[in-house]
């Protein structure tokens, strides 16, 4: 008996580990492959939330975690705490899936929880990942530099929605490439301390791009952005931020704990 | 007795089928003929809704369905779920009728239901359908391509309100036609995966056009819009979206079920 | 006795008829003379209204009608239902008087009723009527055409606030007149189906003009506005609408009935 | 006894009259001297106010009057009713003092009353009075005309916040003076019917000037503003109004009575 | 016994004094060194606050003070009363720390108090301090003048967020330096009466700079800003204020007392 239950436990452990490993592989794929849909859903807690009694607030947290687990096979979701650093919002979810409707279904369930009913959805950005447009024609040296491994475990995240002007879009492709190279050159110095990810949003939102950054060095990030303001391409930003969202990357548990205090 | 009641049932069935067929014919007409008024009414549920008890929420749904049936001889209404993909809204109704006042009367009744009183009307776009302005002068080949049958049963819908600048409107008609041909050429590749419908809104709203799309391929739609950003006409878009509305096409029952959870 | 009471009744009837006739004459004057102040007050019902019990809602209606009667010697007020066709508003009042303060006093009383306390005043436009500026110098033929009698009993009304740019105002008067003639030519075809009225608003509001239209033919109105977009003057519209308000002309009773449901 | 109490009463009367006279002198000074700080505080009543019972609403009024008296030695405050003529606001206070903090302390106390807690502070404009910049270099004839005594006891007040563009500010002083003379010429015809007062706001608010007007003739004021729109200086107004505030000058008692109905 | 307790008291006093001195040194450092993160958090009290009973309001104040003490080793926080001088806000906190997350954690705790739950976070500006960019290349005389000691104990504070246009950022560094010298020259006359502090915000917020001022002379500050409007650099301000925030510097106790009345 002892033996068989130990075997069972061992098998269960192996299966769990395998499941976690599979989930991890799928997570890496969704975060790196083209053709993945990303939805950034940004929320502010309504004042009424604090009138809910503390026990109900705590049980609401379990409900939210259940929603995350329920959809874990279709979506991955990262969580951010904006409260304290942004007047617009308290909480951000970054959701990825192979179909936009999976993002919607997950968010419908989050918004349908007891907590979700007190969340005002103040911003939503929708985008899709693609192969990098400009990189293929860049010089080899630059291509090599762009392979610098990004930093891991950064505490801060910044989201900057971007919209280009009509002049940008009607430029010839090679003119845009020249400007994108200048843009890329300005970022090289920060590849080690700032991780970047790009989403295309034209037609999916009132945006052209969602740019997402992670860093431990906000001073570097400030300098990186100043570098980007100084290149020619900056003349073609009809919208840069507005809102720029700055927050800290924190696990769901910690965020929910802050909101249940 | 049995016989006569079977006949009655049969006749009733035939009558119902005829009625459905007639409704279907009328639906096709309203969706394809010029001179039809379209109203896009976009709503966000107020937070109070979730304080209504669950039974009352469920009965409110029956009431809404009753309103749809009551007006079925004057209007057709399509329903969309925006919740989760748009911070602005939860629900969109697209209403068509031969008189604008029929759209108004239907919406008055929807807004007068127990659910409707918790719906904040966050956007309304009014337009009218017309014969295509530019197509007559297009080359025959292009005209043939434009007859490509649009996709059926697409899950996603996108609404893009558009306003042109003064320079556009004061161009000579043939200059606008040249640009519209360039615009149309950019859309040819997507006729099979993206269905389109156009409403004229000048004087009926703070818009010139309401453009409506259905697709199963949001990646194609993203590329289609990028194609349109790259043509000369893009210089004359004073407003393109703002808000662009992205949602899923879902039957009323399913939407009401989501909102009654 | 019978005789004298019949005489009394007859005299009363005559007096009432005379009073109605006088009121009608005064109404015609206020709607046609220069130097009359017009205030467009636009309201949205707050959600709380629907929590008021039905009996109280019905009695609130009698109170509103009382306010209209109380001020009938100083102001005339027309009523419009925007609900269903405009996300901004449910109800519009157009008030005319020989002094702006009469408009204010009437609206103070409307807003002080049980219904008025649930009306959010979402827009107010103030203006004054004047003799037509440009017409005197127009060709005789055009002047004759402008005398086309406007349509009566139209169901739809549209209000378009307009603000001109600094370039417009600093043009020489004859340059503006040339553009106004082009503008007027574009409207001739619609004189039979679209009724117009103009208010001057510079200094009384963040506007230069309030343009008001009545029509039974929204398709004609759409074409009329497209015609106006195509004339040179359109380059000088800093603001055209924003908001354009579209509604149906309905008697107070009917509007109150819709809002008391 | 009788004699001495009569003397006391007489002395008290004299003292009161003296106090009133002193207050009147101080009022004249604050309204005419340079270096005085003006704060325009604009409020909208929240809907909740009408849920307060009538007796409490009436006693709240006495509290507000007490605040006006408490601060009477440091500030003067004028009161305006905007309700009915502006969707933005119900009530405006114009406060003057020799230190901005006196304006703040007075407004803190107003906002701390039972009424004040239901007042939403929708706009605040801060400015300072100065000697007239341009007048010294104007021709003598114009200087004489500018001494025309302004009208007294006008019922209407209009506030127009103004912001100039960078081009205006970087012009040479004599170029600005030429434009200001043209501006001033356009106002001469209205000196008898429109009273004006100017506040400088750069650095104290998101404005450059607060222009304040009183008149009994809104038709004249409309023509005056049209005259100002037609001068060259109009090209340099980055902001003119937005919001322009139109209201009636009414004593505190009357305004409080309207709000306590 | 007496002796030892006196010694203990003496030692405790010394330790406290040392602690205060250390805190004071750290405060000076955070307010003068580069690489320090500043967060300006601006709040408006929700109307509900006044429904909280007076005793609960008073105890809420003690809770807020506790939060300030809890974080005193990581952050310094200054407090400002905007109420009465700004329609947007009642209260501003300026927080400095060596890590942005310390600012966030402090603000999370403030917002989690009973008072904080009634504070609407209407604006947040994030920035970082840096060594002065332009000064090194300025003439020696100007550098000397810039060492004028700033005023102490000023009652007023003004915050002006600034965003530069793309043209500014793409100018050559020496062209920007020329304009910054002209800018600096315009400020010299006010160094004795206006204290200044600069934060860089590009990438941390929808801003490029947060400029912060303290003064007892608002008339001087008005003239200083007019001086800055008149230099060439003003052409490159895409945003200057909007909102400019004007308030009085008051200790936490006094502000909390005003809000607990």
pLDDT digits over B54-82, tens only?
A: 888 888 889 999 999 999 999 999 999 99
* pTM for this model (two decimals): 0.94
Structure tokens at A203: 């037609």
Q: How many CB pairs under 8 A join D and E?
A: 97
Whole-number pLDDT of residue C145: 93
Window from A210-224, C132-146, C237-251 with minimum mean pLDDT: C132-146
Domains for chain A: give ranges and CATH numbers.
Answer: 36-127+249-260 (3.30.70.1030), 135-247 (3.30.70.3420)
Window from B240-254, C163-177, E10-24, E164-178 with minimum mean pLDDT: E10-24
Whole-number pLDDT of residue B260: 80
Going from the C-alpha of A215 to that of each of A52, A132, A222, the distances in angstroms are 35, 21, 11
Residue D39 has pLDDT above 70, yes or no: yes
Would the CB atoms of A101 and B155 count as touching at under 8 Å?
Answer: yes
Containing H/E element for E82? none
User: Is pLDDT larger for residue D138 or for residue B261?
Assistant: D138
The answer to whether C86 touches C245, Cβ cutoff 8 Å, is yes
Check CB contact of E118 with chain A, cutoff 8 Å: yes
Q: What is the mean pLDDT of residues E154-159?
A: 98
Q: What is the mean pLDDT of residues E221-244?
A: 98
Check CB contact of A200 with chain B, cutoff 8 Å: yes
Residue E6 has pLDDT above 70, yes or no: no
| Contact flag for E and B (3+ C-beta pairs < 8 Å) | no
Residues in chain B closer than 8 A to C160 (CB atoms): 203
Question: Could you tell me the pLDDT band of residue E9, with boundaries at 50, 70 and 90?
Answer: low
Distance, in Å, from the CA atom of B175 to the CA atom of B180, rounded to the nearest integer, reads 9
The answer to whether A156 touches A247, Cβ cutoff 8 Å, is yes
Q: What is the mean pLDDT of residues B191-217?
A: 98
Burial pattern E201-210, b for ≥16 Cβ within 10 A else e, equals bbbbbbbbbb
Q: What is the mean pLDDT of residues B90-117?
A: 97
D2 to chain C, closest Cα gap in Å: 50
Burial pattern E59-75, b for ≥16 Cβ within 10 A else e, equals ebbeebeebbeebeebb
Q: What is the mean pLDDT of residues B105-117?
A: 96
Would the CB atoms of A170 and B243 count as touching at under 8 Å?
Answer: no
Would the CB atoms of A111 and B83 count as touching at under 8 Å?
Answer: yes
Question: Could you tell me the pLDDT band of residue C51, with boundaries at 50, 70 and 90?
Answer: confident
Give E108-148 pLDDT, tens digit per residue. Answer: 999 999 999 999 999 999 999 999 877 788 999 999 999 99
What is the per-residue DSSP string for C156-190? EEEEEEEEE-HHHHHS-HHHHHHHHHHHHHHHGGG
Whole-number pLDDT of residue D13: 66
The gap from C-alpha B159 to its chain's centroid, in whole angstroms, comes to: 8
Percent helix, percent strand, percent coil in chain C, to nearest 5:
50, 25, 25
Question: Could you tell me the pLDDT band of residue B1, with boundaries at 50, 70 and 90?
Answer: very low
Considering chain E, what is the average pLDDT of its residues? 93
Whole-number pLDDT of residue A1: 46
Give me the percent of chain C exceeding a pLDDT of 90.
80
**Minimum Cα–Cα distance from C171: chain D residue:** D230
Considering chain A, what is the average pLDDT of its residues? 93
Burial pattern D163-197, b for ≥16 Cβ within 10 A else e, equals bbbbebbebeeeebbebbbebbebbeebbebbbeb
DSSP assignment, residue A109? Answer: H
Check CB contact of B202 with chain C, cutoff 8 Å: yes
Residue A4 has pLDDT above 90, yes or no: no
Residue A201 region by backbone torsions, left for phi larger than 0, else alpha for psi between -120 and 50, else beta: alpha
Out of C124, C169, C202, the one facing D87 most closely (by C-beta) is C124
Give D164-213 pLDDT, tens digit per residue. Answer: 999 999 999 999 999 999 999 999 999 999 999 999 999 999 999 999 99
What is the per-residue DSSP string for C73-103? TT-EEEEEE-TTT-SS-SEEEEEEESSHHHH
Residues of D with a known catalytic role: 196
Question: Could you tell me the pLDDT band of residue C1, with boundaries at 50, 70 and 90?
Answer: very low
Whole-number pLDDT of residue C21: 75
Q: Which of C32, C36, C44 is nearest to C90 (CA)?
A: C44
Check CB contact of C129 with chain D, cutoff 8 Å: no
User: Is pLDDT larger for residue A31 or for residue C12?
Assistant: A31
Catalytic residue selected from C27, C196, C217, C239: C196
B169 to chain A, closest Cα gap in Å: 18
Distance, in Å, from the CA atom of A88 to the CA atom of A44, rounded to the nearest integer, reads 7
E176 to chain A, closest Cα gap in Å: 12
The complex's ipTM works out to 0.92
Percent helix, percent strand, percent coil in chain B, to nearest 5:
50, 25, 25
Beta bridge partners of C44: C120
Q: What is the mean pLDDT of residues D99-123?
A: 96
> Phi/psi of residue B39, each to 5°?
-125, 125
Check CB contact of B10 with chain C, cutoff 8 Å: no
Give me the percent of chain D exceeding a pLDDT of 70.
94
Give the residue from C203, C236, C242 with the most D CB atoms within 10 Å of its CB, the best one to mutate: C203
Question: Could you tell me the pLDDT band of residue A172, with boundaries at 50, 70 and 90?
Answer: very high
Check CB contact of A242 with chain E, cutoff 8 Å: yes
Whole-number pLDDT of residue C100: 98
3 state DSSP class of C134: coil
| Contact flag for A and E (3+ C-beta pairs < 8 Å) | yes
Q: What is the mean pLDDT of residues B118-130?
A: 97
The answer to whether D138 touches D181, Cβ cutoff 8 Å, is yes
Whole-number pLDDT of residue E1: 46
Give B135-169 pLDDT, tens digit per residue. Answer: 788 999 999 999 999 999 999 999 999 999 999 99
Q: How many CB pairs under 8 A join A and E?
A: 97
Burial pattern A135-169, b for ≥16 Cβ within 10 A else e, equals eeebeeeeeebeeeeebeebbbbbbbbbbbbbebb
Structure tokens at A82: 């904006």
């Amino acid at each position: 008996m002892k033996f068989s239950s130990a075997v069972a436990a061992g098998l269960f452990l192996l299966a769990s580990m395998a499941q976690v490993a599979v989930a991890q592989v799928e997570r890496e794929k969704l975060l790196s492959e083209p053709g993945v849909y990303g939805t950034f859903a940004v929320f502010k807690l309504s004042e009424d939330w604090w009138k809910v009694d503390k026990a109900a607030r705590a049980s609401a947290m379990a409900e939210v975690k259940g929603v995350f687990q329920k959809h874990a096979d279709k979506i991955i979701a990262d969580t951010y705490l904006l409260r304290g650093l942004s007047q617009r919002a308290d909480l951000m979810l970054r959701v990825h899936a192979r179909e936009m409707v999976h993002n919607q279904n997950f968010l419908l369930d989050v918004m349908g929880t007891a907590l979700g009913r007190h969340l005002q959805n103040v911003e939503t950005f929708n985008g899709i990942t693609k192969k990098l447009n400009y990189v293929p024609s860049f010089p080899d040296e630059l291509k090599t530099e762009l392979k610098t491994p990004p930093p891991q475990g950064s505490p801060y995240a910044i989201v900057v929605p971007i919209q280009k002007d009509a002049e940008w879009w009607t430029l010839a492709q090679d003119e845009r490439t020249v400007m994108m190279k200048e843009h890329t050159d300005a970022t090289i110095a920060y590849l080690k301390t700032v991780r970047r990810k790009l989403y295309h949003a034209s037609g999916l939102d009132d945006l052209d791009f969602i740019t997402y950054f992670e860093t431990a060095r906000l001073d570097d990030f400030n300098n990186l952005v100043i570098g980007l303001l100084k290149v020619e391409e900056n003349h073609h930003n009809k919208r840069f931020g507005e809102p720029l969202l700055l927050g800290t990357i924190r696990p769901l548990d910690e965020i929910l704990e802050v909101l249940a205090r």
